[in-house]
Amino acid sequence: MRYVSTRGGAAPQRFSDILLEGLAPDGGLYVPESYPMADLAAWRGLGYPGLAAAILQQFMDDVRDLKALVGRTYTKAVFGSDDIVPLKTLEPGLHLLGLSQGPTLAFKDIALQLLGELFEQVLGARAQTLNILGATSGDTGSAAEHAMRGRERLAVFMLSPHGRMSAFQAAQMYSLQDANIHNLAVKGTFDDCQDLVKRVNADAAFKARQRIGAVNSINWARIAAQVVYYFWGYFRATRGNQESVSFAVPSGNFGNIYAGYVARRMGLPVRRLILATNENDVLDEFFRTGKYRVRQAAVATSSPSMDISKASNFERYAFDLVEREGGALGGLWRQLETDGEIDLSLIPRSGFASGRSTHADRIATIRSVHARYGVTVDPHTADGIKVGLEQREAGVPLICLETALPAKFAATIREALGREPERAQVFEGLEQRPQRCASIAADEQAVKRYIEAHAA
């Protein structure tokens, strides 16, 4: 399998090269040259690690011992059950796909745990080191740190907006004591953090010298890992491979639902991919109108992991919309830079539906799901369920993706249900554990100096 850039200006690459590289040199994102075909009959009976190996093998054909690596990643010890991703049936034809059973209680663990194993293996084979620089509004940072902690040849430098995460999210990151994990608390917003990462990465000489890598959702390995659970959920929710299902996906950077789109391109019978946004509704607007209009800044909401002003993975989907013409895509993205919007309304956007959910919707959905089914869902999952139910069709099973557990967002659960969310024993007293983080000014030079002093 070879990977090409969405902007058409880079030579095709093997998977292990794009794993370490991040963005293509022409500024585009890497996508596979073609979509592999699914073998539904052979895959239906597989356990999660077996299914993951069968699918990932298609995308990562140059990784040695991939099957063993996948087997080490998806274990009961890490994800709490042999199912890894359990499907819970709320009522006939309505399911919740449990993506949040990993160490940091959000779906990002599924991809990042795999990424940790992949980095270790590929860096070991090449005798290289990597310094991961990232920005987080909460979930990505903790999932990345828990996946990379204690690994040789790797250090993590994670910028987070000081005082803007939930207490639980901050404690999940700042309580890690591993020497290769560096939390940098920035006095500023998430956008400031992301800006710093961009500016450091723009210094090509520094980037090469310090071997800077990324774990954000533009990394293809994360998309590939997420394709797996769409197949898994389908097999659990249907009796045969003739049925189709719809998925409801709480969305921000378009990484999760884009993996569902890839699964459909591989032949998974998906009727609708139902995209849910919160008040930051740039993607809902696109699927309703065909106009993609990025915002100046995201507004802060009670589903914070979906607070985005533009959706990085959207470029991959748009590449297919323009028939994979890198030149055309490059032109559109230049226009997006200057005008802040592009109009794709003349191109059919089939197979998607979308909707928007507000704070009041979230609270109402958390309450009604709890009252009807006795299940507490987190605010992001609630956004997905709200929009999913609006777009549900009779006779088509609906699988709602659960993207985080309620324990991470206690304040919203208290507001909805008047009590604390349950938390597993291992998280008791998390917020009281000693914390380790460095305060840093929102200044590119300060970040660079810190990396130089602590690099792997």
Residues annotated as part of the active site: 108
* Candidate segments 33-41, 49-57, 250-258, 425-433, binder of ligand PLP by CB under 6 A: 250-258
Question: Of 180 and 251, which has the nearer Cβ to ligand PLP?
Answer: 251
- Provide the token pair at 263: 């699964």
Which parts of 290-349 interact with ligand PLP (CB under 6 A)? 305-306
Stretch that binds ligand PLP, among 41-49, 58-66, 192-200, 251-259 (CB under 6 A): 251-259
Question: Which of 326, 421 has the CB closer to ligand PLP?
Answer: 421
106 binds ligand PLP (CB under 6 A): yes
- Environment class of residue 430 by beta-carbon count within 10 Å: exposed (0-12), middle (13-18) or buried (19+)? middle
Per CB under 6 A, the list member of 251, 301, 354, 412 interacting with ligand PLP is 251
Binding residue (CB under 6 A) for ligand PLP from 32, 49, 116, 255: 255
Residue number with CB closer to ligand PLP (317 or 319): 317
Query: How many residues interact with ligand PLP (rule CB under 6 A)?
Result: 16
Q: In angstroms, give the least distance from the CB of 11 to ligand PLP.
A: 28
* Rg of the chain in Å (alpha carbons): 21
| 3-state DSSP helix/strand/coil % of the chain, to nearest 5 | 45, 15, 40
Residues constituting the chain: 456
Residue where the block lists tokens 């323009």: 322
Distance, CA of 370 to CA of 376 (rounded, Å): 5
- 436 CB-contact burial (10 Å; exposed 0-12 / middle 13-18 / buried 19+): middle
Question: Measured from the CB atom, is 251 or 357 closer to ligand PLP?
Answer: 251
Q: Give me the amino acid identity at 81.
A: S
Other C-beta atoms closer than 10 Å to the C-beta of 363 total 18
Positive or negative: CA dihedral 446, 447, 452, 453 = positive
DSSP letter (8 states) at residue 456? -
Q: How far is the CB of 105 from ligand PLP (least distance, A)?
A: 9
108 forms part of the interface with ligand PLP (CB under 6 A): yes
In angstroms, give the least distance from the CB of 281 to ligand PLP: 13
Smallest separation (angstroms) from ligand PLP to the CB of 312: 8
Distance from the first to the final alpha carbon of the chain: 30
Task: Give the burial string for 281-291 (b: 16+ CB within 10 Å, else e).
Answer: bbbbbbbeebe
Nearer to ligand PLP, 206 or 352 (CB): 352
CB atoms within 10 A of CB 347: 13
Instruction: Report the site for ligand PLP in 201-230 (rule: CB under 6 A).
Output: 217
Task: Report how far residue 270's alpha carbon sits from residue 410's, in angstroms, rounded to the nearest whole number.
Answer: 34
Binding segment for ligand PLP among 181-189, 236-244, 245-253, 348-356 (CB under 6 A)? 245-253
Closest to ligand PLP by CB, 330 or 406: 406
Q: Is 172 in the site for ligand PLP (CB under 6 A)?
A: no
Applying CB under 6 A, among 253, 277, 302, 412 the residue interacting with ligand PLP is 253
Which of 108, 356 has the CB closer to ligand PLP? 108
**CB closer to ligand PLP, 95 vs 222:** 222
CB within 8 Å of 347: residues ≥ 6 apart:
290, 321, 322
Q: Is 403 in the site for ligand PLP (CB under 6 A)?
A: yes
* 250 touches ligand PLP (CB under 6 A): yes
Using CB under 6 A, pick the residue from 254, 261, 286, 292 that binds ligand PLP. 254
Instruction: State in angstroms the smallest separation of the CB of 169 from ligand PLP.
Output: 10
The identity of residue 111, as a single letter, is A
Q: In which residue are the tokens 């002003």 written?
A: 309
Q: Give the angle subtended at the CA of 344 by the CAs of 292 and 353, to the nearest 5°.
A: 70
Q: Looking at 38-46, 233-241, 254-262, 350-358, which segment touches ligand PLP (CB under 6 A)?
A: 254-262
Report d(CA 148, CA 161) in Å as an integer. 21
Name the token pair of 396.
Answer: 């088509």
How deeply is 365 buried, as exposed, middle or buried, from its count of CB atoms within 10 A (0-12, 13-18, 19+)? buried
Q: Please, which residue, 63 or 173, has the CB nearer to ligand PLP? A: 173
**Residue 325 CB, nearest approach to ligand PLP (Å):** 25
Using CB under 6 A as the binding rule, the residues of this chain from 136 to 155 that contact ligand PLP are: 139
Among the listed residues 116, 252, 355, 406, the single contact to ligand PLP using CB under 6 A? 252
For residue 369, the minimal CB distance to ligand PLP (Å) is 16
Report the SS3 class of residue 115: helix
What is the contact surface with ligand PLP in residues (CB under 6 A)?
106, 108, 139, 217, 250-256, 305-306, 380, 403-404
